[in-house]
Structure 1
């Protein structure tokens, strides 16, 4: 089983700024979300934890690792968010105005050093396949980023879900199995741990 998780909230999420590969830490809400997520996994079997090497993903993974009395195995560059090049730090509405189809345009040649969806998908599929091949028969948790997870979902569902179809909540969990070199999808975009926590506070 692969548990694929989006990181907790950052101030740039809260303020509607394009993060991409800019290394922004979790804010106080993001830490609370990660702690609620960690409680969710307290009784689940997890054999190994990986994360993107960016602080918001690695920090989310560390909260889970604390509860599980584990360590994050590795922070991997290949699990990073899409690079938005020169547009990182811009307001999201401005980005959408300038490039209305950027989130669904699969062209390879994009301006301003923006990473293509295809290149991001290739690196995500390759890295997650490598991880699951290396950990055959184990339950693996990976913390990554919204657009990066969505292109993977797009790949597994042959475009029926993921990119252009779904916005992933902070700390949302999606599950997959990998058997006989084939991916299958389980649950998608489940953030019930945080909804419950928010309602009770």
Structure 2
């Protein structure tokens, strides 16, 4: 086999492997794509809420077929938390509580799932929801969770963004810039272009608020 034939063979093998991976993770990829569409391409208001509600229903149907799947469970939690954010107000806190419980379950059994995404998502909940006696918000726990996420995925766009955003909310602007810059420089995710584009807008917005 000459060099050209070898390269062609490797390309075919790589393509087949990618295709197999896509087929094996089809529900997960559909869920991730749907979330990005709801979060970044759907107008705020009833339409966005309905989008997340439909996504939650779809994930529930997937979990009926794969009970306990940690990846889908993380994304169920993310969608519930996102729906809570879209709804706003005290009425959304029950959704945040449900998301928290789901993420804690994943952390207990499969903490490395999706590069520690459960830690990232739980950390973001801890600093975004109100604290006691209204809800479970806790800045110390938020920082603990976000740091654990960074230990698992130090170069990821999401853990760096959320820790940077947390630091910005804490008034720790100098530290925030470090992590937000790392988030902006994170390697693109070829299978999640819309999510990357939207997240970079989030990063730019937070950077724009810093002194």
Normalised by the length of structure 1, the TM-score is: 0.29
Higher strand share: 1
